[in-house]
Amino acid sequence: MPVANFPGERNWGYDGVDLFAPATAYGRPEDLKRFVDVAHQQGLAVLLDVVYNHLGPEGSYLPAITHGHYLTDRHHTPWGQAINFDGPGSGAVRDFVLRNALYWIEEYHVDGLRLDASHAIVDDSSKHILQELAEAVHGLPGPRRLLIAEDERNERRLLLPPDEGGYGLDGVWADDLHHQIRRLVAGDSEGYFASYSGTVRDIVETLRRGWFFEGLSPGETPKRRGTSAQGIPAPRFAHCLQNHDQVGNRAFGERLSHDIGLPLYRAVSTLLLCSPYTPLLWMGQEWAASSPFLYFTDHPPELGRLVTEGRREEFRHFSAFRDEAVRQTIPDPQAPSTFERSKLNWSERERPPHVGVLRLYRELLAIRRDHPAMRDADRDRWSVFALGEGALGLRRSATTGESLLLLVALRGEIFLPQQAEGDLVPPSGRRWLPLIATEELRFGGGGAWGRLEADGSMQLLAPVAVLLRAA
């Protein structure tokens, strides 16, 4: 999340105003440099979230000292006036943002940037600021630094090279899979979830593409959304089961593991970690952390009051919050207790049931790193398919012949006959044997996940995910 300095002592970071200064609430610039150095020593890259679509509502000095050139009324964002990338005086604004992106890389040695809400970076110039950012960052000497967009448009142009009419970014957050899975397993159906069916068929289609909407009209909305993902390598899409927005923008900061049982949580976690896309794991997800993640702020009293009222008003259109008294129970973003409740309890990683979930994540990540079939993400080396209305399969293969088959049973009982067909058929001369089953005792499960018969037939008792190897 962003570290650009903001007023107050606590904030998500998206209200930054001093874009070249690490937030004093977190420490000194030397501390950030030390953090990056230690991460590199451990073999970890560091990508930093940056916000170039708006400035914070308090303490933003740029418009005051630049004769209004940094903001424009020509475009608007959900946060008010847009950053001026294409109007009078925009040359200095563009240079400011370009220099800021390079500053974090050159001065702090971060390995890339995540561009917050790039769909709200509006630019009608002949060369979009996103393309100019990509050219500047990729032009630095040394290893390639990554630029990843958070973008809700399903826009392939973000990832295409400039000679194909694109901006040349390296990756994009693609939230359609999150929305489909949450609709199915947790029943979310209001707001933007209303545009998703949550059926196994559409989850499979989302996994095949990378995102779901490819020029389709979402629900009853006449506006068409999305472009084709054809030809874009799977690892360039970041998929998640939860992130700071999807959890923190819920009224009570509920994690997915708060809303569904752990057997189902382990099953969908396995699907995420075994897919060919880049998995985004969000703080505490790997052990099903018990703490919520709430929206918290530290604004002056008058602005804080408006933020609190606005936060509660946002939920008026949801059926659970139509009553004013219920809306008043939504935690106050300004209260210090809201921030304190959002902190992780790291000690629970050593206790059931969290320790079992953590063990599952660690073993799946090791398989993802080491198994040849998992390392090959070319689109012709994997397939995904529905198994009725309650289950799906994912097959991964390596050019050397190794194969893995993931079966995810979400509802009901699944029976696979002896005479398998299509992607369920093991490689010639081999048979499928269990490698991991999410209901094993060591992962906190009940121990029973189904039966594998001597003739090769299989029965799965949902919810469970079973990863099979061809042996």
pLDDT higher than threshold 90 for residue 237: yes
Is 243 in contact with 332 (CB distance < 8 Å)?
Answer: no
pLDDT higher than threshold 70 for residue 332: yes
Q: Which pLDDT does position 222 carry in this prediction?
A: 65
Active-site residue (options: 15, 58, 86, 116): 116
pLDDT higher than threshold 80 for residue 456: no
Burial of 434-444, coded b for 16+ CB within 10 Å and e otherwise, reads bbbbbbbeebb
What are phi and psi for residue 116, nearest 5 degrees?
-65, 135
Q: Which pLDDT does position 216 carry in this prediction?
A: 76
Which CATH architecture best describes the domain 354-470?
Sandwich (2.60)
Active-site residue (options: 86, 150, 152, 170): 150
Q: Which CATH class is domain 4-345?
A: alpha beta
pLDDT higher than threshold 80 for residue 219: no
CA-closest candidate to residue 29, choices 63, 58, 5: 5
Which whole-number Å values give the CA distances from 79 to 225, 267, 303, 385, in the listed order? 22, 37, 14, 41
The answer for 333, left when phi > 0, alpha when psi is -120 to 50, beta otherwise, is alpha
The answer for 458, left when phi > 0, alpha when psi is -120 to 50, beta otherwise, is beta
Q: Is 440 a catalytic residue?
A: no
Decide if 4-345 and 354-470 have a common fold. no
What's the pLDDT tens digit per position in 43-52?
999 999 999 9
Q: Give me the helices (H) in 348-454, please.
A: 354-370, 372-375
| pTM, entire model | 0.95
DSSP string for 138-164: HTSSSSPPEEEEE-SS--GGGTS-GGG
What residue segments make up the domains of the chain, in order of their start? 4-345, 354-470
In the 8-state DSSP scheme, what is residue 229? -
In the 8-state DSSP scheme, what is residue 280? E
- How far is residue 390's CA from residue 297's CA, in Å, rounded to a whole number? 41
What's the pLDDT tens digit per position in 375-414?
999 999 999 999 999 999 999 999 988 999 999 999 988 8
What's the pLDDT tens digit per position in 113-125?
999 999 999 999 9
Q: Is 150 a catalytic residue?
A: yes
User: Which residues lie below 8 Å from residue 386, measured CB to CB, with a gap of 6+?
Assistant: 200, 201, 204, 392
Amino acid identity at 7: P
In the three-class reduction of DSSP (H, G, I as helix; E, B as strand; rest coil), residue 226 is classed as coil
Length reported for the chain: 471
